[in-house]
Chain A
Amino acid sequence: MRQMITLTINGKKYKAEEGQNLLQVALDNGIEIPHLCYHEKLTPYGGCRLCLVEVSNRKKTTMTTSCTYPAAQGIKVETDTPQVRKARQRVMEMILALAPDSPGIQRQAHDLGIVKPGFTVESDGCIRCGLCVRACGELVGLNTITFACKGAKRKVEPPYDEEAKSCIGCGTCVVICPTGCLKMKDLGEERRIDKWKRVMEMKKCTECSLPYIPQPQVEFIMDKALEKPPEDWFQKCPDCR
């Protein structure tokens, strides 16, 4: 159990666990800070730059991402200064330019007062927030996709940009993606995730004959689960079980 400390947010005092990230402290106390690349179940990334706040300790004041800054005794946090608002808008203009057709991003941009992107860039709809990569790595434990290259060329893809052979079609990446640029489709006996060039055969229920789970997912669970289900568990779909 970590030590409890007191800090100030927007002039009010709050208690928090020492070392907990400021964004979570704020959200737990009902203070809204816009964010995109943060998820409470994943290691904070600090990449999207939306959750910027001004933090003052004894020495100085800096503008930094609240998702990566640890709560410490006596620090003062401001989440809504003109500087912070300007910074968030500027960053959001860039993000919207990367995903102009995404309803999720449009909504968040609108909340910040951004109606259209400030620039036109060539984009594939991905904002490089890394949630899919981190979720596949930390939650699923597969690391089947990764960031590749750096700088303006940085993108997310499976190794060699070929089919992500170790992907089990769990859909975690699809659910966690804030832009909706990841699509998972079930077509007949196949499940496809086009962005990862992944095509998986679906296992059919022995009772109702409907394909219901990707074969690789069955193999993964039987291999990695701490408490393994019985051998024939996946013969029937959940409805028929």
Chain B
Amino acid sequence: MEQKTTEKIIKKYNCDRHEVLEMLLDIQEKEKYLPRETLDYVSERLDMQPAKLYHLATFYEALSLKPAGRCQVNVCTGTACHVRGAVKILDELEYQLGIKPGEVTSDYNFGLKTVNCVGACALGPLVLVNGEYQGDMTAHKVEKIIKENTDHEDEERKQA
């Protein structure tokens, strides 16, 4: 993230260290994770210890220190979705992508995460693909989702 963008975010909250969570959420929204250099800059500007920011980044689920996948797949594991079979969908995704929740495929094409209830229980079991709600999910539909979101140019380049 460009320093001037970070500076803009810090100024948006009046350089107030009590608003640091808001700043981190803004950075997360823009970059889809918290780049280390950006965090270092924030800690310097707000005169806060890097350890404190590290604690916040690891405590809160909405904040991530690792880059997201190009296609981020989040499986809702809320109770309603669980009761409607979310586990099977998660297992199938893990198997097909070869990664566990919290990880990204080695080519950064796909990221997998479990998320707590997003409040769309009527659509359960639910998977969010890059923020888009895909409801009434089944283990069977998983392969289709992966195919649709695979970067075909990238695949061809790899195979060539």
Contacts and interface: CB of A to CB of B under 8 A. Distances in A.
A148 B36 contact: no
A158 interface: yes
B56 to A, nearest CB: 10
B54 A143 contact: no
Interface string B13-41: 00000000000000000000000100000
Interface residues of B, number: 11
A143 B54 CA distance: 11
A160 to B, nearest CB: 7
Contacts, number: 29
At the interface, is chain A mostly helix, strand, loop or mixed? loop
Interface residues of A, number: 12
A149 B51 contact: no
A146 interface: yes
B58 A148 contact: yes
Contact of B52 (A143, A149, A150, A158): A143
B55 A147 contact: yes
A160 B36 CA distance: 9
B51 A159 contact: yes
11 contacts: A143-B51, A143-B52, A144-B49, A146-B55, A148-B55, A148-B59, A149-B58, A150-B59, A159-B53, A160-B36, A160-B65
Interface of A: 142-150, 158-160
Given A158-B51, A159-B51, A160-B36, 15 more contacts: A143-B49, A143-B51, A144-B51, A146-B49, A146-B51, A146-B52, A146-B55, A148-B55, A149-B58, A149-B59, A150-B58, A150-B59, A159-B50, A159-B53, A160-B54
